[in-house]
Amino acid sequence: MENYKRLNRTLVHKGKITTFYTDRMLLPNGAEADWDFVDHKGAAAFVAETDDGKILMVKQYRNALERQTLEIPAGGINAGESFCEAAIRELEEETGYIVEDAEHLLDIYTTVAFCNEKIGIYCGKVKQKKEQHLDEDEFVDCFAYALDDLLQMIDKGVLQDSKTVSALLAYARKIRKK
């Protein structure tokens, strides 16, 4: 933080997943400014490939956008849980599929201008669909798509979720190198 200094941090609101602060910053030119900061507990996601080569996607309502989105399975990290453990748990809860193997794909920070949310993204093969195990406030539908169809959805602007776009592009690059 060369030439930047946080003078103080004021708690604005503590939520279930995030905590909101106002940071009073000393800038390189000597001026002071208030910056928003959102502290996030972290999340994990999984690019899951079925036996027939399709990628599992979940459709759910997202309040911030006031609409349903199509995404890779993902969710928050629970206390004491690793990113990989959370990715596997969320995939199994949201889709009912069991992970055969998990490999780290990439990490992303979703909105670096004001939030420290880190998402660890994993990939692997899945098998035997069982029942979903959703939270009380979750309503998630699961679908399977060919990777090329998902890449076309990115190109057409249908898929806009940053973790999903990043993960699918990285996964396509990874498997095409093999």
Do 66 and 35 share a structural domain?
no
> How crowded is the C-beta side of 151, counted as CA atoms within 13 Å?
9
**What global pTM score does this model have?**
0.89
CA 167, 159, 165 angle in degrees (round to 5)?
20
Q: What is the pLDDT of residue 134?
A: 65
Do 84 and 10 share a structural domain?
no
Report residues of the chain scoring pLDDT below 70. Answer: 1, 132-135, 178
Q: What is the pLDDT of residue 132?
A: 65
Q: What is the pLDDT of residue 6?
A: 96
Token readout for 92 is 């199994």
- Catalytic, out of 71, 117, 136, 138: 136
Q: How far is CA 110 from the centre of its chain?
A: 8
Q: What is the pLDDT of residue 141?
A: 84
Q: What is the pLDDT of residue 1?
A: 54
71: domain CATH number?
A: 3.90.79.10
Q: What is the pLDDT of residue 126?
A: 95
Do 58 and 9 share a structural domain?
no
Whether 136 sits among the annotated catalytic residues: the reply is: yes
Q: What is the pLDDT of residue 12?
A: 97
What does the alpha-carbon distance between residue 28 and residue 33 come to, in Å, rounded to a whole number? Answer: 11
135 close to 42: Cβ distance less than 8 angstroms: no
Do 120 and 68 share a structural domain?
yes
Q: What is the pLDDT of residue 65?
A: 82
Do 96 and 63 share a structural domain?
yes
Q: Which amino acid is at 166?
A: S
What does the alpha-carbon distance between residue 63 and residue 16 come to, in Å, rounded to a whole number? Answer: 15
Within 10 angstroms of residue 168's Cβ, the number of other Cβ atoms is 25
What does the alpha-carbon distance between residue 90 and residue 81 come to, in Å, rounded to a whole number? Answer: 12
141 close to 60: Cβ distance less than 8 angstroms: yes
Do 55 and 122 share a structural domain?
yes
Q: What is the pLDDT of residue 161?
A: 94
Q: What is the pLDDT of residue 7?
A: 96
Give 17-51 pLDDT, tens digit per residue. Answer: 899 999 999 999 999 999 999 999 999 999 999 99
Do 90 and 171 share a structural domain?
yes
Q: Which amino acid is at 26?
A: L
With the CA atoms of 95, 136, 119 and 55 taken in that order, what torsion angle do they form, in degrees rounded to the nearest 10?
Answer: 20
Q: What is the pLDDT of residue 31?
A: 95
Q: What is the pLDDT of residue 50?
A: 95
